[in-house]
């Protein structure tokens, strides 16, 4: 039984398990999903199995990682969202918590990323008692920029060049106090 980390009106956020491999593969092989990630789409189911094993290792080592986002009505994995501890430096930051998310295109523009990310941030600030959570996004990924800056309240603290794909990225941060102000205003 997969551990459930959070629940919203439309979503369940739980551990990613090996049984999710077919849906994770759908995400990982889709060029539109991977467009701004800095890695190429996978070609085999085995690559997605390795991704899941890596995520499960993060649960064990760090107590946190990306979570499966399950749409309640269809009981389907529609993407993932969660926190990751950056063990390798990104933009000079290391050992910080980074918010990430990825969804299948048919679920874009329906508020799922925002809804899932809010639940993840709530968990990070309440359960983990974090003071700051970071995010990075390529400046060309306008939809994610909008979600992070305007809907979730992240502040841009700089830009950097991502070494994986030579893309210019925003480096964003969200302080617990600001998140709570925005959450309580809604």
Domains of the chain, each with CATH number or no CATH: 4-185 (3.40.630.30)
Whether 121 and 64 have beta carbons less than 8 Å apart is answered as no
In tens, the pLDDT along 113-129 reads 999 999 999 999 999 99
- Do residues 77 and 13 make contact, with C-beta atoms less than 8 angstroms apart? no
In this prediction, residue 180 carries a pLDDT of: 84
Calculated CA dihedral for residues 129, 72, 114, 98, nearest 10 degrees? 40
| Contact between residue 30 and residue 19 where contact means Cβ atoms under 8 Å apart | no
CB distance 169 to 135 below 8 Å: no
Q: What is the pLDDT of residues 150-183, one digit of tens each?
A: 999 999 999 999 877 788 999 999 999 999 888 7
Q: How far apart are CA 15 and CA 140, in angstroms?
A: 30
What sign does the dihedral 129-82-166-157 (CA atoms) show? negative
Tokens of 157: 């603290």
What pLDDT digit, counting tens, does each position of 96-115 carry?
999 999 999 999 999 999 99
Average pLDDT, the chain: 95
Apex CA 82: angle with CA 79 and CA 84, to 5°? Answer: 130
What are the beta bridge partners of residue 148? none
122 three-class SS: helix
- pTM (2 d.p.): 0.95
Query: Who has greater pLDDT, 89 or 17?
Result: 17
Residue with tokens 């060029």: 31
């Amino acid at each position: 039984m997969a551990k459930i980390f959070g629940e919203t009106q439309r979503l369940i956020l739980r551990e990613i398990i090996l049984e999710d491999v077919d849906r994770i593969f759908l995400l990982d092989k889709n060029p539109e999903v991977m467009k701004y990630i800095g890695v190429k789409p996978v070609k085999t189911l085995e690559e997605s199995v390795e991704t899941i094993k890596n995520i499960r290792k993060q649960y064990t080592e760090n107590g946190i990682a990306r979570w499966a986002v399950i749409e309640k009505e269809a009981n389907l994995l529609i993407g993932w969202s969660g926190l990751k501890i950056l063990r390798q430096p990104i933009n000079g930051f290391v050992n910080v918590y980074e918010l990430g998310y990825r969804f299948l295109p048919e679920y874009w523009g329906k508020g799922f990323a925002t809804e899932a990310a809010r639940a993840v941030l709530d968990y990070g600030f309440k359960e983990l008692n974090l003071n700051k959570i970071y995010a990075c996004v390529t400046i060309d990924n306008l939809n994610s920029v909008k979600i992070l800056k305007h809907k979730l309240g992240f502040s841009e603290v700089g830009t950097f060049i991502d070494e994986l794909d030579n893309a210019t990225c925003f480096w964003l941060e969200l302080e617990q106090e600001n998140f709570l102000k925005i959450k309580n205003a809604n």
